[in-house]
Amino acid sequence: MIRQKSFENEKPTLYLVPTPIGNLSEMTPRAIEVLSMVDVIACEDTRTSGQLLKHFDIHKRLISYQNFNEDSSSKGIINLLSQGLNVALISDAGYPLLSDPGQRVVQEASALGYNVVPLSGCNAMLNALVASGLIVQPFLFVGFLPANKTDCYKKLNEYRNYPMTLVFYEAPHRIEKMLQACLEVLGDRKCCLARELTKIHEEFIRGTIQEVLMECDDLKGEMVVVIEGNQDEPEKDIDYSAILQMVNESIEMGLTKSDAVKEISKKLGISKNIIYDLVHHNQN
């Protein structure tokens, strides 16, 4: 067990510092103070972060910390902490670690007993969620879906029956395919697409997935998609082993797997998808 009292020791500290997602006025005084105080700032893109720091007249050593070099750069940050230096981790925009690099270094730094201190600040997911008009809590943050179609559909199927509101990130060149996949797997649920958050062209498109999909032809900017959770009545307690046995018995009597699933679904009043998933899982 490691117990961290962030401000009651003199250990080197890794600060997690959110940066504005658009409007620079949302940079907090504490974020400016911490970035001005640390010895080194780790960022995704030194050019992008360099412009941000220049705007706030902050002049610190910058190092790159990206997904593709996370292994080596994590070791570099740990080495800096071991020298007694304080390091701030920022992303290009928003909160570090949330669909941005940082997971590995936070795990390693905390495991070694260094302070890991988060600052409050900007996060596109929360902005979109609270203004979506959908149920805010509980919610599940998914982030970016896989680009590969098969993997995307597989991932959506994992969340299909979850009752909590789902939150995704998506890029403009993939938004139509992403929403189409959601429509096919999740059904035509209530949805809100938020884009250009805190910027002059901020926009919220609220409706069903199908309605939002029809407005996506030429949308630009990074996007957050908030989708209603599964509102179907929760399934009653299910004896999965008994169901599987019933399906197998029906198949032994000559029914196809598909017909057996339909028959058992109708007899028990349980979703065919649940039974299909059960049979498929036990065949793998």
Considering the domain architecture, whether residues 222 and 159 belong to the same structural domain is answered as: yes
Residues 206, 180, single domain; the answer is yes
Range of the domain at 270: 240-283
Question: What is the SS3 assignment for 194?
Answer: strand
In a domain, 38, yes or no: yes
Q: Examine the domain organization and report whether 204 and 263 are in the same domain.
A: no
Q: Is residue 2 very low, low, confident or very high in pLDDT (cuts 50, 70, 90)?
A: confident
Q: How many C-beta neighbours within 10 Å does residue 119 have? A: 18
Residues 84-109: pLDDT tens digits? 999 999 999 999 999 888 999 999 99
Residue 234, pLDDT > 60, answer no
Q: Do 159 and 178 lie in a common domain? A: yes
Do 86 and 20 share a domain, yes or no?
Answer: yes
**Position 182 in a domain:** yes
Contact 204, 127 (CB under 8 A): no
Which of the four pLDDT bands, split at 50, 70 and 90, describes residue 279? confident
Name the band, by pLDDT with cuts 50, 70 and 90, for residue 233.
low
Helices assigned H by DSSP within the chain: 29-37, 46-55, 70-82, 103-111, 124-131, 149-159, 175-186, 209-213, 240-252, 257-268, 272-283
Highest mean pLDDT among 159-163, 201-205, 250-254, 262-266: 201-205
Instruction: Say if 7 falls within a structural domain.
Output: no
d(CA 77, CA 81): 6
Name the DSSP class of 19: B
Q: Are 122 and 24 in contact (CB under 8 A)?
A: no
pLDDT tens, position by position, 7-49: 999 999 999 999 999 999 999 999 999 999 999 999 999 999 9
Q: Taking residues 69-75, what's their average pLDDT? A: 83
- Going across the sheet that includes 139-144, the strands are 139-144, 165-170, 223-227, 190-195, 203-208
Q: What are phi and psi of 256, to 5 degrees?
A: -70, 165
User: Can you read off the two tokens belonging to residue 56?
Assistant: 């706030």
In a domain, 41, yes or no: yes
Is the pLDDT reported for residue 236 higher than 60? no
Over range 110-133, report the average pLDDT: 96
DSSP sequence for 88-151: EE--SSB-TTSSSS-HHHHHHHHHTT-EEEE-----HHHHHHHHSSS--SSEEEEEEPPSSHHH
Confidence of residue 133 (pLDDT cuts 50, 70, 90): very high
Domain total for the chain? 3
- The pLDDT assigned to 270 comes to 75
Residue-level pLDDT at 235: 54
Q: Mean pLDDT score of the chain, rounded to an integer? A: 91
pTM of the model: 0.79
Tell me whether residue 6 is in a domain: no
Single residue among 89, 122, 155 that ends a domain in this structure: 122
Residue 235 lies in a domain: no
Q: Are residues 147 and 187 in the same domain?
A: yes
